Structure 1
Amino acid sequence: MTTQPEQILENNLITQLQKLGYKSVVIKDETDLLANLKSQLEIHNSKDAKHRVSLSDNDFKQILNYINKGNIFQRAKILRDRVPYTNDKGEHKTVELINQIHWCKNEFQVTQQITMEGSFKNRYDVTILINGLPLVQIELKRRGLELKEAFNQINRYERHSYGAGNGLFQFIQIFVISNGVNSKYYANSPIKARSFKQTFYWSDVNNKHITQLSDFADIFLEPCHLSKMITKYIVLQESDKILMVLRPYQFYAVEAIVEMVKSQGISTQPSYGYIWHTTGSGKTLTSFKTAQILTNLPKVHKVVFVVDRRDLDYQTTKEFNAFSKGSIDGTNNTNTLVKQMVGDNKLIVTTIQKLNTAISKSRYLSRMKTIKDERIVYIFDECHRSQFGKTHNDIKAFFTNCQMFGFTGTPIFEKNAVSVKTHSNASPQKKTTSMLFGKILHKYVITDAIRDENVLKFSIEYISTFKKKDHIADIDVEAIDEAEVMNAPERLNNITDYIIANHNRKTHSREFTSIFCVSQKDVKTGFTPVIEYFKLFQKKKEEGKHNLRIATIFSYEANEEDRGTFGSDNIGVFDNEFETPELSIAVEPQAEYGTDAMHSVSSHTRDYLEEFIGHYNKQFSTNFTTKDSKSFYNYYNDVAKRVKHKQIDVLLVVNMFLTGFDSKALNTLYVDKNLRYHGLIQAYSRTNRILNELKSQGNIVCFRN
């Protein structure tokens, strides 16, 4: 790689930015910076030549005092609000720091080599000013040097001088680092919240990286685009008090949905669509930002974010409120949902079960009919699962002016679709994601995410668990009689011993945790692997052969039909409003996946689960039971919390926790069941969340070929 002096890179960038519409300005120090800020605020807040704003020294002093407070997060809030002052006539006035509605209507400047002196004197490479405030800092290194040097340089500036004087550099929203060949961006946050792993390449709509500085500047630093990123695509995350900037694929997904909503009634194009973003790529943030922008569109009456499990309802509400405090209230029951639907709530998170009840039960219909013609946008999470069948059609039929969009990491295609009924008297038909939601609006698949290091790669290990007969080849494993081979006591014992012997190695001496997923109950023999495995682990623990903390959870509800939605076998247990089994239609072949509730579950199975929960209660001093659904639901949540906090070493499941469950502390999945298509990707992806340098991959240990 040829080297290029930083000064040439810098001068070329300044020239390019001027051509893009930035005004070049000479600012040597804070004195110049303040004088420029005053004049730019006057220009920005003047409506026209007849209504010019002129700030006196006293006016400007008040403004400076008001904005010179708080940390990076608090100043980001100040930036997005109006700043009050009292003029020399005693009139109460305000100034706008940035135009968030018409983001192109701001004043754009660029300068270089500003000197600020705090504990040390620093000179910054290139600074982009919007309305006089330094909102984007660009740090350049000569070609041949690593980008991390620029990242570390910015951290030194933060420690040494960004807070100096009036702290105007604490208003920076986005950093850009480049060596000419590679260019990345990231959001400003406290140093302890920064990570080089949270620096991003910009990409085109097809996820092709745009790395050369000149190409990056043409697109990302174009004034309107940069201002839009700052005003629309930075999230002020309330729970951690940090700024989060969307990645390019998130940006394109939100833009696609927003444009489709804006064009409804104008364009003849279909008004539905779905986003295919792989599991672990930040779909919650993408969907939140989508919902947030849509709620601000005047012609949108409400935005309803729909999940298919009660625990995801709670989890999503919590995460949405973390992004924007108080943005939504939970819908604890259908009556609360109906009140919110007919009330003033612009953004609602609920389950499909409550939504179906609201439009199908007579006691709610009189209220719900008052909004059936309103412009309501529905966003369905994990749309490959919850929207197959009757409910999807019922919602479209009831809300005559609605639009529907789906998010999924694993869409259903013709190849992996199964036949479902759209209503009780209909013949089964294959349903794919595109049949229900239309075209893909944006795609970001797992190979993209692994390449970009937004999720971890998988390390897959196959462990032979039986001696093959001469006439049986590897590819014939699925045809082997399970009663004879797969459920053989010796095989289960060997697998248990393998996990005990290798768990510390797989989890870096229990720095991480694991899930062990096993096959459903054998219909012919009644053999239930999850029970047998737990008994083996417990027996060996009592014999002193290991001290692993083992827990299990599986469905116990008697006469529960196959919900089919890989991981949603708990719906009947968790949400008594889900009264119609056919509402959640199978999207996975029963032969390959099934659920532990595939057929009637005997009281014998429930008794074992009650016994296993008893071991859990003793281990963690809790008091859960299967005797009422609320306690079992609380048990589910407690298990989830303890997995995330690394208090459970091995969680033994059939289908639960294999989708919709995120834990960065989870790095290993043991597999003794047949997985295919989207079910396989969903299950494997439990392990691939990025956490730290130690967690370098998701470990998959397969005991079946």
Structure 2
Amino acid sequence: MLHHLDKKSGVFAKAKVLRDRMKLEREDGQVVYLDFFDSTHAGRNRWQVTQQVEMEGSYKNRYDVTILCNGLPVVQIELKRRGLEMKEAFNQIQRYQKHSYWASRGLFNFVQLFVISNGVNTKYYANARRQSFKQTFFWAQEDNKTIRELQPFATAFLDRAHLAAMIRKYIVLSETDKVLMVRRPYQYYATEKIVERVKNRPAEKANGYIWHTTGSGKTLTSFKAAQILTALPEVKKVVFCVDRKDLDAQTIDEFNGFSKGSVDGTDNTKKLVKQFTDDTKLIVTTIQKLNTAISKAAYLKQMEALRDERIVFIFDECHRSQFGDTHKRIVEFFRDHQMFGFTGTPIFADNAVAKDGKKHTTKDLFHKKLHSYVITDAIKDENVLRFAVEYVGRYKKKEGKATEVDIEVEGIDTKELMESPERLERITDYIIERHAVKTRNKEFTAMMCVSSVDVLIKYYELFAKRKAEGKHKLKVATIFSYTANEEDKGADGILDDDAEIEGGDKGDPHTREVLDGFIRDYNAMFQTNYSTKDTKSFYGYYKDIAKKVKSRKVDILLVVNMFLTGFDSKSLNTLYVDKTLRYHGLVQAYSRTNRILNEVKSQGNIVVFRNLKKNTDEAISLFSDPKAKEEIFVPPYDEYVKQFNETVALLIELTPKPGDVKDLPNEDAELKFVKIFRELMRLKNILESFSEYEADDLTMTEQRFNDFASAYLDLSDKVKMDQKKENASILEDVDFSLELLHRDLIDVRYILKLLAQLYDADEPEQVRLRKLILDTVAGDIELRSKRELIEKFIEKSLPEAGSAAEIPDCFEEFWEKERADAFDQLVKEEELDADKLKKLIDRYVYTGEKPLPDLDIVELIQRPLKIAERGPTRKRVLEKVVDYVTTFIRGVAA
């Protein structure tokens, strides 16, 4: 049995082994199958609890509490005393994953769930490496009230039946990323409600809908619901319907990512009909193809046999897909059906559009709301971010004309004014000037939605003109359906301008020719080859744009309606709005920006160039609570300034000068300093995203902040050194949030400017500039590793430069020599293959993926190693490679 368990290594592989069966042939020849976890009869599993298990890998670790199922550890619990940060427990588990979980046959790689608690707060998360604290969750009751304290959490979550259900049904093995993903409480309750309603179907009004806010993971919820429903013998088919071809492909990719090969994309209606008539249990399709399958005479004979079968339909984004004639045809054709809809923004009477003299709501079609999780719930649970909405360029009438001023007046958004060249130019220049602030120097990306294709074309050409003038280096891309130009239809709240991605000869030839020109710009920018010549090429263009926005290769994406629903990108943090949005259209569009990513992404930025204040307030009231604005929108700039200055006062009280940090009397005082300065970094990160940010508003200067940042980094380095010495420290598991110190503007280019000033300065000024340079380098996480080399350049190479203008060339020559020397020294010291090392470094720099010691590093080492030497040597070489890249390559390009 141990041999079978050993065959697969790593968390993902072990998770599959746990759910698999082992074939065992007995001595008498009888073949039996062993389950390591009984998914069918959960009560047969045997549970045990143990404490203080010791494991020794790189270091010896002792784990607080472990829950075993059938002898295998499946839940690991780390506890901290009250008053300590819960994140310390999270960081401790991260350390255990590096140091010891893999030891002793990788037994603890069978762990499926982690639980962390400080008594007051308790969270859980799946066993997946490279995740952040943002991916930990509170458990909750069905009404979304969180269960935070340890004892009630243990009663609700660690109950044997519930724990078995979580492991058996509510952990998803993502084949795409090879990671485990665990369901959050609202996803659990929604799925349970759907399954219960299918099992116990009411005689009348048997449908249901799930209202989960955008960004809450509806695709994962719907997938798990569909997966469980396909296992019910009474259900013939589960049909997952979307209303747009782009979402069709995205959903198929995600479904197959959760369970490889579980879904075949329906490329055409004929294939869809085949899936209906064969043994395919789960079908993903568009409502357009489904409509064709039940409407066209060519398919009716084959589909007729399905009319009386038990079929469950799940509709994604049902606020857009279920209010036309197709819904009526589906209801009339399939006599034994149930329908379930997922939406982040339901249709109520207030935001419904009248058709045939009647307003249809989500409840009319789907009967009963089974579960809700609105935006205020998601923000409270830190599953999505709040919004920072900025209204720019509002208008009032002055002497018969509309003039831009800084007050809000409704009703002056005439087409003549809104599309005037002067206004569009001013908005373009505004975006160019402030884009770096909003996206933290392009660490994130942005979208801009506009009122029509005509206006989009004008904006695109303005951005291109400004780029040709040398006023920006932004990569701007666009996509739109080349149908006849339309006026702004977003005013009714419905984003339906680009309902289909189509190719062929449809639409206005001029619009299509213009789009082809824009696509040629894109091809030149990214060395691609797309066009509108056919649907396949145009759809390839759509998918490639989506990929490049997510990977931050496109800075601003210009759209009319495309991408404003159904598109999720964690790296997108800003939306520029120059169109009228209302109700669900507004919330859907805003929600493109508020996906959780990391500590640096503090909110979604919405920059509005129209009078949408009233619309925004109405939408928030409709989809959450009239009193919810304070929870959904970030406080104003002045409030953050006040918080920052109050925190500065606390810091100065503890350590009046940066130099005092090293003299703090004990680790408790050091911990207090870390928490205060970390809060300063968080507040400064938010402040810098406001257009009105002025450093003079703060009681701490930039230089003073950098000095304290240097002391903060010194303390972080001290903790790292203590860890290598295996010294126990209360600071070991503290999150230093070093990513908040990263500033792209302070790079080598910035340092070169200071060096040029240093070269021409007189002696007193030289002393000041030299200190400024070295302090700046010491206080920046990216440049810190380069301090010694920059100081060496100042001492030895700077005096040899003929003039300030020659400094960049002198610096490049110095740096290349130092880099080459360091490379040769690394090769010589560790006896490495130079060619292989160069290729490995190039790949590391390009992908950002750290080399693996047992796979990549071992290929570099030329000398034979004794068994006892292998682990330490590979680890040492890996550290040297990482240090080399950090010092000589990252952040150096000038």
Q: Does 1:162 align with 2:101?
A: yes
Q: Secondary structure at the match of 2:115?
A: strand
Among candidates 569, 584, 589, match of residue 678 of structure 1: 584
**Residue 167 (structure 1) shift:** 3.0
Specify the code of the residue in structure 2 equivalent to 1:229.
M
CA distance in 2, matches of 1:661, 1:212: 36
Q: Does 1:131 align with 2:70?
A: yes
Among candidates 213, 217, 231, match of residue 296 of structure 1: 231
Aligned pair in 2 of structure 1 residues 575, 231: CA closer, same or farther (>3 Å)? Answer: farther
CA distance in 1, matches of 2:413, 2:264: 51
**Residue 573 (structure 1) shift:** 4.3
Partner of 2:422: 490
Q: Does 1:463 align with 2:392?
A: yes
CA distance in 2, matches of 1:434, 1:91: 57
CA distance in 2, matches of 1:381, 1:557: 25
**Residue 551 (structure 1) shift:** 1.7
Q: Pairwise mapping of residues 507-526 of structure 1 onto structure 2 (< 5 A)?
A: 507-520=439-452
1:572-617 Cα deviation digits (max 9, x unpaired): 54289xxxxxxxxxxxxxxxxxxxxxxx964443343333333333
Structure 1 residues 84-93 or 214-223, which shifts more?
Answer: 84-93
CA distance in 2, matches of 1:538, 1:546: 9
CA distance in 2, matches of 1:654, 1:280: 21
Alignment RMSD: 2.3
Instruction: Answer whether contact 1:560 1:572 (CA < 8 A) is retained.
Output: no
Structure 1 residues 615-624 or 465-474, which shifts more?
Answer: 465-474
Structure 1 residues 690-699 or 267-276, which shifts more?
Answer: 267-276
CA distance in 2, matches of 1:559, 1:539: 23
1:441-478 Cα deviation digits (max 9, x unpaired): 11111111111111111111111255652798999844
TM score, norm. by length of structure 1:
0.82
Q: Does 1:101 align with 2:101?
A: no
Unaligned runs of 5+ residues in structure 1 are: 1-62, 421-426, 522-527, 577-599
Partner of 2:208: 273
Instruction: Answer whether contact 1:310 1:575 (CA < 8 A) is retained.
Output: no
Partner of 1:171: 110
Specify the code of the residue in structure 1 equivalent to 2:361.
T
CA distance in 2, matches of 1:155, 1:480: 56
Aligned pair in 2 of structure 1 residues 516, 481: CA closer, same or farther (>3 Å)? Answer: closer
Instruction: Answer whether contact 2:493 2:583 (CA < 8 A) is retained.
Output: no
Instruction: Answer whether contact 2:22 2:34 (CA < 8 A) is retained.
Output: yes
Instruction: Answer whether contact 1:507 1:668 (CA < 8 A) is retained.
Output: yes
Q: Does 1:615 align with 2:521?
A: yes
Partner of 2:556: 650
Q: Who wins on radius of gyration, i.e. which is larger?
A: 2
**Residue 559 (structure 1) shift:** 8.8
Aligned pair in 2 of structure 1 residues 607, 347: CA closer, same or farther (>3 Å)? Answer: same
Structure 1 residues 125-134 or 393-402, which shifts more?
Answer: 125-134
Among candidates 254, 260, 272, match of residue 337 of structure 1: 272
Partner of 1:550: 476
Aligned pair in 2 of structure 1 residues 67, 538: CA closer, same or farther (>3 Å)? Answer: same
Partner of 1:199: 136
Partner of 2:431: 499
Among candidates 209, 215, 218, match of residue 283 of structure 1: 218
Q: Secondary structure at the match of 2:478?
A: strand
CA distance in 2, matches of 1:607, 1:158: 55
Q: Secondary structure at the match of 2:523?
A: helix
Unaligned runs of 5+ residues in structure 2 are: 612-894
Specify the code of the residue in structure 2 equivalent to 1:368.
M
Aligned pair in 2 of structure 1 residues 363, 164: CA closer, same or farther (>3 Å)? Answer: same
Partner of 2:606: 700
Instruction: Answer whether contact 2:503 2:534 (CA < 8 A) is retained.
Output: no
Instruction: Answer whether contact 2:114 2:126 (CA < 8 A) is retained.
Output: yes
Partner of 1:574: 502
CA distance in 1, matches of 2:189, 2:84: 31
Structure 1 residues 160-169 or 471-480, which shifts more?
Answer: 471-480
Aligned pair in 2 of structure 1 residues 274, 187: CA closer, same or farther (>3 Å)? Answer: same
Q: Pairwise mapping of residues 386-401 of structure 1 onto structure 2 (< 5 A)?
A: 386-401=321-336
Aligned pair in 2 of structure 1 residues 674, 83: CA closer, same or farther (>3 Å)? Answer: same
Among candidates 215, 219, 226, match of residue 163 of structure 2: 226
Select the structure that is richer in helix: 2
Among candidates 122, 145, 160, match of residue 208 of structure 1: 145
- Higher relative CO (Cα under 8 Å, sequence separation at least 6) belongs to 1
CA distance in 2, matches of 1:546, 1:566: 34
Q: Pairwise mapping of residues 284-683 of structure 1 onto structure 2 (< 5 A)?
A: 284-420=219-355, 427-464=356-393, 466=395, 468-469=397-398, 477-480=409-412, 482-520=414-452, 528-558=454-484, 566-574=494-502, 602-683=508-589
Structure 1 residues 362-371 or 510-519, which shifts more?
Answer: 510-519
Q: Secondary structure at the match of 1:659?
A: coil
Aligned pair in 2 of structure 1 residues 185, 603: CA closer, same or farther (>3 Å)? Answer: same
Q: Secondary structure at the match of 1:403?
A: strand
Q: Does 1:150 align with 2:89?
A: yes
**Residue 399 (structure 1) shift:** 0.7
Q: Pairwise mapping of residues 40-51 of structure 1 onto structure 2 (< 5 A)?
A: none
Among candidates 213, 216, 237, match of residue 174 of structure 2: 237
Specify the code of the residue in structure 2 equivalent to 1:544.
G
**Residue 117 (structure 1) shift:** 3.2
Q: Secondary structure at the match of 1:501?
A: helix
Q: Secondary structure at the match of 1:545?
A: coil
Specify the code of the residue in structure 2 equivalent to 1:259.
E
Instruction: Answer whether contact 1:405 1:437 (CA < 8 A) is retained.
Output: yes
Instruction: Answer whether contact 1:465 1:491 (CA < 8 A) is retained.
Output: no
Aligned pair in 2 of structure 1 residues 632, 123: CA closer, same or farther (>3 Å)? Answer: closer
**Residue 95 (structure 1) shift:** 1.5
Structure 1 residues 193-202 or 277-286, which shifts more?
Answer: 193-202
Aligned pair in 2 of structure 1 residues 214, 499: CA closer, same or farther (>3 Å)? Answer: same
Instruction: Answer whether contact 1:236 1:244 (CA < 8 A) is retained.
Output: yes
Structure 1 residues 90-99 or 611-620, which shifts more?
Answer: 611-620
Aligned pair in 2 of structure 1 residues 466, 613: CA closer, same or farther (>3 Å)? Answer: farther
TM score, norm. by length of structure 2:
0.65
1:382-404 Cα deviation digits (max 9, x unpaired): 00001112111110111111110
Q: Secondary structure at the match of 1:544?
A: coil
CA distance in 2, matches of 1:152, 1:516: 38
Partner of 2:876: none
Instruction: Answer whether contact 2:503 2:533 (CA < 8 A) is retained.
Output: no
CA distance in 1, matches of 2:55, 2:525: 57
Instruction: Answer whether contact 1:305 1:378 (CA < 8 A) is retained.
Output: yes
Partner of 1:14: none
Partner of 2:187: 250
CA distance in 1, matches of 2:48, 2:388: 48
Specify the code of the residue in structure 1 equivalent to 2:165.
K
Specify the code of the residue in structure 1 equivalent to 2:183.
L
Specify the code of the residue in structure 2 equivalent to 1:115.
E
1:609-634 Cα deviation digits (max 9, x unpaired): 33333333333333433343333323
Q: Pairwise mapping of residues 12-31 of structure 1 onto structure 2 (< 5 A)?
A: none
**Residue 557 (structure 1) shift:** 1.9
CA distance in 2, matches of 1:277, 1:175: 25
Q: Secondary structure at the match of 1:275?
A: strand
Specify the code of the residue in structure 2 equivalent to 1:556.
Y
Instruction: Answer whether contact 2:503 2:532 (CA < 8 A) is retained.
Output: no
Q: Secondary structure at the match of 2:44?
A: coil
